């Protein structure tokens, strides 16, 4: 095992990473966690120009072998493989950027260590499972040499990004109300930690944070308070030991008497509801995912002009991360904005669990 002191010693010994890059301005990337999400991130990272995957890490050696084969087949490179991220960070002095796609309860430990040794960090959403751990990552990011970017990739989705520009430029007028819902079938049962709320943070944190991030971004500020209700009504002990909710609803109150309504159901029939992100203003309402809006007193959708609408938001987010790392630029989904959105989800979770109105100060500290 490696202590925090060991990691800090490594940080002092390491060279200025991006100041001494390999030829042709290549960014050398390590990926920690190559499961479902991590494998998808890896595929997209391999498409980003000027990237070389130099190391892979996962507890599952079969996953490691598949990920290594993917890198080899795509680029011809042979990345080193590890089952201990501490050993990888200790041994590899050539890592410029670290991509973290592990279970949520491990994010704080891995992200802080990766920041302390000087790498740029891309950490999948949400930031952590508790407000305290979230704040620790923000503190580490502020003092780090590298940048921190969170995996709120929908901020880079062409349609949603264009919708947000339209909202913030006054296109729908003053924002009055926000609505989102995620009504789907259940999560894959072959990933046990999804259903352990201690590890995942529960579904409102682990899954809904994407939509809550977008709606909070649209509101332009954090909520003042929240209240809600939820539970397990359909999938009781399914899978065995389940502690995560299969349905809930929460209402947030923002400054200026703005409200946001969000609901989440895992027993929605196929094709019945789906996922929605909508913002209502004085002049009309907009659907973020489709980048179409409707004027309040007129009929008919008005599509916004969206450049390259089919681009994959995960690829665009990772591409932006590499560009931000090279230029040491503040990401759109930086530590502060990601912490705010993560804690919006935690605010709703606390209100649901405790069946009372919970204020922002109780979460943000």
Per-residue confidence (pLDDT) for residue 25, from 0 to 100 = 87
Task: Give the single-character DSSP code of 297.
Answer: T
Instruction: Look up residue 65 and give its two tokens.
Output: 């072998």
- Say if residue 247 is in the same domain as residue 360: yes
The DSSP-derived string for 142-205 is: HH-SS-EEE--GGGG-HHHHHHHHHHHTTTT-SEEEEEEEEE--PPPTT-GGGG-HHHH--HHH
Same domain, 29 and 175: no
284 part of a folded domain: yes
State the pTM of this model.
0.92
Q: How far is CA 274 from the centre of its chain?
A: 20
Residue 199 and residue 291 in one domain = yes
In this structure, are 262 and 298 located in the same domain? yes
In contact, 117 and 10? CB cutoff 8 Å: yes
For residue 72, is it within any domain? yes
Among residues 287, 290, 268, the alpha carbon closest in space to that of 184 is found at: 268
Please identify which residue in the block is written with the tokens 């996962």: 58
What is the C-alpha separation between 317 and 294, in angstroms, rounded? Answer: 29
How many CB atoms are located within 10 Å of the residue 24 CB?
7
Of residues 136, 57, 39, the one with CA closest to residue 95:
57
Closest CA to 112 of 143, 88, 84, 90: 143
* Whether residues 165 and 289 fall in one domain: yes
Q: What pLDDT score was predicted for residue 177?
A: 98
| 307 lies in the same domain as 176 | yes
Residue 299 placed within a domain? yes
Which helix H or strand E contains 252, and what residues bound it? Answer: strand 247-254
Report in angstroms the alpha-carbon separations of 105 from 10, 37, 81, 165, 328: 24, 15, 22, 33, 27
Q: Tokens for 200?
A: 């995942």
- Judge whether 325 lies within some domain: no
Same domain, 110 and 238: no
| Domain end point (choices 100, 115, 146) | 146
The residue out of 87, 116, 146 marking a domain boundary is: 146
- Judge contact between 137 and 335, C-beta under 8 A: yes
Q: Are residues 205 and 347 in the same domain?
A: yes
Provide the number of structural domains found in the chain. Answer: 2
| DSSP label of 26 | B
Find the angle CA(154)-CA(160)-CA(165) to the nearest 5 degrees.
Answer: 125
Establish if 322 belongs to a structural domain.
no
60 and 167 fall within a common domain: no
Q: What share of the chain is helix, strand, coil (3-state, %, to 5)?
A: 40, 20, 35
Tokens of 352: 């649901």
Q: Is 327 part of a structural domain of the chain?
A: no
Q: Is residue 32 part of a domain?
A: yes
Distance, CA of 214 to CA of 161 (rounded, Å) = 9
Query: What is the CATH number for 197?
Result: 3.30.360.10
Which residue in the block uniquely carries the two structure tokens 């560009």?
Answer: 323
96: CATH = 3.40.50.720
**125 with 160, same domain?**
no
Identify the pLDDT of residue 66: 98
In a domain, 238, yes or no: yes
Contacts of 29 (CB under 8 A, 6+ apart): 45, 51, 52, 53, 54, 95, 96, 97, 98, 99
| CA-based torsion, 364, 150, 84, 38: positive or negative | positive
- Residue 359 and residue 223 share a domain: yes
ω into 126 cis (within 30 of 0): yes
Q: Are residues 217 and 358 in the same domain?
A: yes
Q: How far apart are CA 116 and CA 121, in angstroms?
A: 10
> Domain of 260?
155-312+342-364
Going by their DSSP bridges, the two strands 292-295 and 225-231 should be labelled as unpaired
Digit-by-digit pLDDT tens for the chain (365 residues) are 334 444 444 444 343 445 444 445 899 999 999 999 999 999 999 999 999 999 999 999 999 999 999 999 999 999 999 999 999 999 999 999 999 999 999 999 999 999 999 999 999 999 999 999 999 999 999 999 999 999 999 999 999 999 999 999 999 999 999 999 999 999 999 999 999 999 999 999 999 999 999 999 999 999 999 999 999 999 999 999 999 999 999 999 999 999 999 999 999 999 999 999 999 999 999 999 999 999 998 989 999 999 999 999 999 999 999 999 999 999 999 999 999 999 999 999 999 999 999 999 999 98
Q: Which residue, of 105, 121, 146, is where some domain finishes? A: 146
Smallest CA-to-CA distance from 144 within 335, 320, 5 is with 335
Pairing mode of beta strands 51-57, 120-123:
unpaired
């Amino acid at each position: 095992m490696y202590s925090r002191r060991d990691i800090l010693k490594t940080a002092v010994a390491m060279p200025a990473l991006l100041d001494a890059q390999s030829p042709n301005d290549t960014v050398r990337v390590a990926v920690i966690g190559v499961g479902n999400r991590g494998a998808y991130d890896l595929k997209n990272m391999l498409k980003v120009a000027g990237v070389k995957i130099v190391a892979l890490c996962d507890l599952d050696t079969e996953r490691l072998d598949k990920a290594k084969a993917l890198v080899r087949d795509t680029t011809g490179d042979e990345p080193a493989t590890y089952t201990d991220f501490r050993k990888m960070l200790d041994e590899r002095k050539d890592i410029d950027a670290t991509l973290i796609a592990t279970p949520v309860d491990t994010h704080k430990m891995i992200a802080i260590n990766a920041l302390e040794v000087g790498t740029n960090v891309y950490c999948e959403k949400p930031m952590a499972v508790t407000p305290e751990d979230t704040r620790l990552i923000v503190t580490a990011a502020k003092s780090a040499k590298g940048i921190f970017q969170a995996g709120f990739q929908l901020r880079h989705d062409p349609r949603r990004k264009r919708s947000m520009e339209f909202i913030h430029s006054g296109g729908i007028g003053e924002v009055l109300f926000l609505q989102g819902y995620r009504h789907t079938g259940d999560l894959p049962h072959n990933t046990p930690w999804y259903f352990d709320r201690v590890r995942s943070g529960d579904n409102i944190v682990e899954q809904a944070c994407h939509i809550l991030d977008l709606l909070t971004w649209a509101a332009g500020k954090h909520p003042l308070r929240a209240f809600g209700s939820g539970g397990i009504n359909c999938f009781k002990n399914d899978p065995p030991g389940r502690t995560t909710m299969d349905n809930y609803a929460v209402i947030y109150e923002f400054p200026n008497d703005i409200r946001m309504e969000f609901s989440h159901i895992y027993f929605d029939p196929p094709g019945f509801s789906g996922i929605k992100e909508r913002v209502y203003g004085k002049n009309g309402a907009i659907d973020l995912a489709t980048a179409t809006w409707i004027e309040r007193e007129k009929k008919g959708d008005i599509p916004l002009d969206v450049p390259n609408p089919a681009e994959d938001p995960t690829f665009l987010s990772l591409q932006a991360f590499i560009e931000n790392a090279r230029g040491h630029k503040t990401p759109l989904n930086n530590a502060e904005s990601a912490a705010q959105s993560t804690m919006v989800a935690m605010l709703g979770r606390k209100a649901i669990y405790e069946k009372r109105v919970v204020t922002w100060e109780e979460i943000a500290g």
